């Protein structure tokens, strides 16, 4: 059966941001389990590895000097300095995955997200909001991976980041993990159904003939509508 329309097969570039401790990474991990049409672009950072993190999984970990060398070589789609460390999105194979029809997710800090928005305004921007500042503070404390001073800096930064939420397309209040994952997935599916993704409409000659015959039948066209 021939389909009536052809839509774009290229995937969407999806930027997910939010304060440290909002749960971005956990949501993405769960999303990858249920949606196999997405690819997670791994960011690069100059910050030290925390806890059980692995190079090439959470981030590509490099030294500050190595990161700055890659800046000079124009290897980043975007990069930003946050809390004294660099974070960046390697260009890598992003376009290749998009052309294969996969949605590419970038989990990046807000500074970087806004740079992406300047370059690629058609990208999809999702902000993950913590349930409350008190809960955010509790999550940061429970990490036990940073000094009190650094934790305070992150908490103060969270207030600034939340003020940027209006620059995003969607916001998810992450007070229930399963519900938050479901909402993000629903957004990705809905974006695939946008009218502006239609490339062509197909109507064959037989269907056109039926349409013309119906339009010529004034009795059919002018009959009262039923609601």
Q: Note the pLDDT tens digit of each residue in 77-124.
A: 999 888 789 999 998 889 899 999 999 999 988 888 998 999 999 999
The Cα–Cα gap between 213 and 209 comes to 6
CATH number at residue 177: 3.40.50.300
Quote the number of domains for the chain: 1
The pLDDT of residue 211: 61
Report if residue 189 sits inside a domain: yes
Asked if residue 41 has pLDDT above 70, the reply is yes
- Please say if the pLDDT value at position 223 is more than 90: no
- Per-residue model confidence as pLDDT tens digits over 181-203: 999 999 999 999 988 888 777 76
Contact between 11 and 97 under an 8 Å Cβ cutoff? The reply is yes
Residue 176 lies in a domain: yes
Give the pLDDT confidence score for residue 164 in this predicted structure. 92
Phi, psi at residue 120, to the nearest 5°?
A: -130, 75
| HSE toward the beta carbon, residue 192, CA cutoff 13 A | 15
Task: Give the residue carrying structure tokens 């993990």.
Answer: 177
Q: Is residue 215 part of a domain?
A: no
With pLDDT > 70 as the criterion, what percentage of the chain qualifies? Answer: 87
The mean of the pLDDT values for the chain is 86
For residue 113, being part of any structural domain is answered with yes
Is 166 part of a structural domain of the chain?
yes
Percent of the chain whose pLDDT exceeds 90:
52
Q: How far apart are CA 86 and CA 45, in angstroms?
A: 5
Question: Does 11 fall in a domain?
Answer: yes
* Greater model confidence, 48 or 52: 48
Residue 128 has what pLDDT? 96
pLDDT of residue 138: 82
Residue 23 in any domain: the answer is: yes
Tell me which residue range forms the domain holding 124.
Answer: 5-42+101-200
In a domain, 126, yes or no: yes
Cα–Cα distance between 126 and 18 in angstroms, integer? 9
């Amino acid at each position: 059966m021939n389909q009536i329309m052809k839509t774009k097969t290229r995937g969407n570039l999806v930027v997910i941001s939010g304060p440290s401790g909002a749960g971005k990474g956990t949501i993405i991990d769960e999303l990858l389990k249920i949606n196999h049409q997405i690819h997670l672009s791994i960011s690069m950072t100059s910050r030290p590895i925390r806890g059980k993190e692995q190079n090439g999984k959470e981030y590509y970990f490099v030294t500050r000097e190595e990161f700055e060398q890659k800046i000079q070589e124009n290897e980043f789609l975007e990069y930003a300095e946050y809390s004294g460390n660099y974070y960046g999105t390697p260009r890598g194979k992003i376009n290749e995955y998009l052309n294969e029809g996969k949605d590419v997710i970038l989990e990046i800090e807000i500074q970087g997200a806004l740079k992406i928005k300047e370059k690629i305004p058609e990208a999809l921007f999702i902000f993950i909001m913590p349930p409350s500042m008190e809960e955010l503070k509790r999550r940061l404390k429970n990490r036990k991976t940073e000094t009190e001073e650094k934790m305070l800096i992150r908490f103060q930064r969270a207030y600034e980041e939340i003020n940027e939420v209006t620059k995003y397309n969607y916001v998810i209040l992450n007070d229930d993990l399963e519900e938050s994952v479901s909402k993000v997935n629903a957004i990705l599916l809905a974006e695939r159904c946008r009218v502006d993704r239609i490339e062509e409409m197909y109507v064959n000659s037989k269907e056109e003939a039926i349409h013309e015959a119906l339009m010529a039948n004034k009795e059919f066209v002018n009959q009262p509508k039923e609601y």
